[in-house]
């Protein structure tokens, strides 16, 4: 109930104080990007955005959960796929080894074939030579006419001669027989080598066909390997990127939600601070009206002399502008500062007739300082007068205000006394003219 009450009070404050917020645009009550957001949005609007963010976060979280499930399935699939790829790699290694072994066998077979062909050629030549020798031997025996053993015996002159001739004939016959046997053995060996050659050629042909089949198998395995490889990490990387992007979106919406919640807290805190300041101001104003007796109470009467714009000088007797309108110290100075010797306690007068719409009179820090004391949002004690629906004026850093909210004042009436309250480095009157709530250069009007 307490939070609901605060919420209603804040809504009321935002609605009813729209005019005073508008005429105080540019004052240092709030600063930074968050202050601008607070000024731009109401609590109801901020709460609506928080609800929208919650819905978006839930939707993104659902997508993230679905993606995580999909990613888990993909990771399981990738594990099986990797096992398949490893098996294919093993097959490729085995096939490569088999192909290398077959090629070695083929080379060895080719070498054997070459050796056999060389050997057969040499054997064929040797057989031809032996046959030629045998032919010559037959021719010699025929020419000599000693074609039988009887003729050899009859022609002997003695037994010794006969024995010698018989021995010679036996030797000749033995030589001829050995020669024939050698020729036959060489022919048999050559036929065996030819058979072996034929076997080696058949072996080579078989090995070449086996090599062709193994290389075809290897090519097929490579095609499967390439296809499987394309299905590996790319999918996981894409899913991880999508997951990262979704997580980033959720983080952004959560941060926006936190910012909006902080803005609501800032509005509530500002409302509570303003209520406290207003209560303190009213108490101080009441106390000041009872006890404050300025030493400059006998100020001379002021007859204002308005210019063509209808505005009159707000600090009679003091005309030194110590700081003009525009950029100053890295920020924007939205008015002019009027300061001169002895100005403390001087009268601040209404530059134009109108109705007092805001008075802050709760600052007791009436002295020069290097920073803001926090009173009046930096203005110290100040008065805002609305002259019509277009123009308003602001009188800041007053020692005290002499009017109250809702009071009508004429041009030249004393509305307060010049001092150094709020963020002020010395005694002066800060004077602003606002057109439709926007601060303009007062030097163009007074």
In this structure, are residues 357 and 23 in contact, taking their beta carbons and an 8 Å threshold? yes
Mean pLDDT of 110-123: 85
Spatial contact of 416 and 400, defined as CB atoms under 8 Å apart: yes
In the predicted model, is pLDDT for residue 208 greater than 70?
yes
Q: Which residue, among 248, 259, 349, 233, has the nearest Cα to 300 in the 3D structure?
A: 349
Among the residue ranges 25-34, 52-61, 225-234, 352-361, the one predicted with the least confidence is 25-34
Most confident range (mean pLDDT) of 9-13, 25-29, 379-383 is 379-383
Q: Is the pLDDT of residue 344 over 90?
A: yes
pLDDT band at residue 154 using 50, 70 and 90 as cut-offs = low
CA–CA gap between residue 367 and residue 383 (Å, rounded): 19
Of the candidates 188, 198, 197, 200, the residue with the CA atom closest to the CA atom of residue 123: 188
Length of the chain: 446
Q: What is the mean pLDDT of residues 137-165?
A: 55
C-alpha to C-alpha distance for 352 and 307, rounded to whole angstroms: 11
Q: What is the DSSP string of 363-411?
A: ----S--SS---GGGGT-EEEEEE-SSSEEEEEEEEEEE---TT-EE-T
Indicate the range of 104-113, 258-267, 273-282 predicted with least confidence: 273-282
pLDDT value of residue 232:
65
pLDDT in tens, 384-439: 999 988 999 999 999 999 999 999 999 999 999 999 999 898 999 999 999 998 99
Mean pLDDT computed over 177-185: 77
Query: Above 70 in pLDDT, residue 91?
Result: yes
Helix axes 43-144, 159-230, angle to 10 degrees: 170
Find which of 191-205, 225-239, 355-369 is predicted with most confidence, using mean pLDDT: 355-369
**pTM listed for this prediction:** 0.37
Per-residue pLDDT at 295: 41
pLDDT (0 to 100) of residue 432? 96
Q: Which residue has the higher pLDDT, 372 or 387?
A: 387
Residue of 15 and 310 predicted with greater confidence: 310
Residue 36: count other Cβ atoms within 10 Å of its Cβ.
Answer: 11
Domains and CATH numbers, the chain: 31-291 (1.10.287), 300-444 (2.70.70.10)
pLDDT of residue 23: 33
Question: Which residues have CB under 8 Å from 113's CB, separation 6+?
Answer: 197, 200, 201, 204
H or E element in which residue 195 lies: helix 159-230
Please report, rounded to a whole number, the percentage of residues in the chain having pLDDT higher than 70.
Answer: 72
Q: Check whether 113 has a pLDDT greater than 70.
A: yes
Which of these ranges, 29-33, 264-268, 352-356, has the smallest mean pLDDT?
29-33
The region of weakest confidence among 22-31, 40-49, 245-254, 434-443 is 22-31
By mean pLDDT, which of 16-30, 40-54, 366-380 is the weakest?
16-30
Q: Which residue has the higher pLDDT, 283 or 102?
A: 102
Compute the distance between CA of residue 34 and CA of residue 48 in angstroms, rounded to an integer: 17
Query: Stretch 91-101: mean pLDDT, rounded?
Result: 81
In the predicted structure, residue 62 carries a pLDDT above the cut 80: no
88 compared with 370, residue with greater pLDDT: 370
Selection from 56-65, 173-182, 402-411 with the highest mean pLDDT:
402-411
The pLDDT value recorded for residue 10 is 37
SS (H, E, C) 268-335: HHHHHHHHHHHHHHHHHHHHHHHHCCCCCCCCCCCCCCCCCCCCCCCCCCCCCEEECCEEECCEEECC
CA dihedral 39, 45, 50, 51 (to 10 degrees): 180
C-alpha torsion angle, residues 69, 74, 80, 82 (rounded to 10): -140
pLDDT score at 141? 64
Mean pLDDT of the chain: 76
Rounded to an integer, the average pLDDT of 6-29 is: 37
Q: pLDDT at position 403, please?
A: 96
% residues pLDDT > 90 (the chain)? 23
Predicted local distance difference test score (pLDDT) of residue 138: 64
Number of other residues whose CB lies within 10 A of the CB of residue 140: 11
Higher pLDDT, 82 or 125: 125
pLDDT for residue 193: 80
Better-predicted residue by pLDDT, 117 or 9: 117
Band of pLDDT at residue 316, cut at 50, 70 and 90 = very high
pLDDT mean over 375-389: 92
């Amino acid at each position: 109930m307490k939070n609901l009450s605060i919420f209603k009070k804040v809504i009321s404050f935002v609605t009813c104080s729209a005019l005073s917020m508008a005429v105080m645009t540019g004052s240092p009550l709030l600063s930074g990007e968050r202050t601008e957001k607070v000024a731009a949005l109401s609590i109801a609007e901020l709460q609506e955005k928080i609800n929208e963010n919650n819905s978006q976060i839930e939707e993104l979280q659902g997508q993230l959960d679905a993606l995580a499930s999909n990613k888990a399935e993909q990771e399981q699939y990738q594990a099986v796929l990797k096992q398949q790829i490893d098996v294919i790699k093993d097959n490729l290694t085995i096939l490569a080894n088999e192909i290398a072994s077959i090629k070695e066998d083929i080379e060895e077979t080719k070498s054997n074939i070459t050796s056999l062909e060389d050997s057969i050629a040499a054997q064929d030549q040797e057989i031809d030579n032996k046959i030629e020798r045998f032919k010559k031997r037959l021719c010699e025996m025929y020419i000599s006419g000693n074609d039988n053993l009887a003729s050899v015996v009859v022609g002997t002159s003695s037994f010794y001669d006969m024995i010698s001739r018989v021995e010679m004939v036996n030797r000749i016959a033995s030589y001829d027989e050995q020669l024939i046997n050698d020729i036959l053995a060489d022919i048999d060996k050559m036929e065996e080598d030819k058979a072996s050659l034929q076997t080696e050629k058949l072996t080579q042909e078989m090995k070449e066909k086996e090599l062709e089949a193994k290389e075809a198998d290897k090519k097929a395995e490579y095609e499967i390997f390439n296809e499987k490889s394309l299905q590996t990490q790319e999918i996981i990387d894409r899913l991880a990127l999508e997951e990262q992007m979704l997580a980033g979106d959720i983080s952004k919406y959560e941060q926006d939600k936190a910012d909006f919640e902080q803005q609501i807290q800032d509005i509530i805190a500002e409302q509570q601070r303003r209520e406290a300041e207003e209560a303190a101001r009213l108490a101080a104003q009441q106390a000041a009206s009872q006890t404050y007796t300025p030493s400059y109470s006998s100020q001379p009467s002021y007859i204002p002399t308005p210019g063509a714009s209808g505005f009159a000088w707000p600090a009679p007797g003091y005309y030194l502008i110590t700081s003009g309108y525009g950029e100053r110290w890295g920020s924007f100075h939205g008015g002019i500062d009027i300061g001169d010797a002895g100005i403390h306690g001087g009268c601040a007068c209404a530059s134009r007739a109108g109705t007092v719409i805001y008075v802050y009179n709760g600052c007791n820090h009436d002295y020069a300082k290097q920073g803001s004391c926090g009173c009046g949002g930096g203005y110290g004690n100040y008065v805002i007068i609305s002259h019509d629906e277009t123009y308003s004026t602001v009188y800041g850093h007053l020692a005290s205000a002499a009017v109250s909210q809702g009071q009508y004042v004429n041009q030249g009436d004393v509305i307060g006394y010049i001092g150094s309250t709020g963020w002020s480095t010395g005694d002066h009157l800060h004077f602003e003219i606002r057109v439709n709530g926007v601060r303009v250069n007062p030097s163009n009007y007074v």
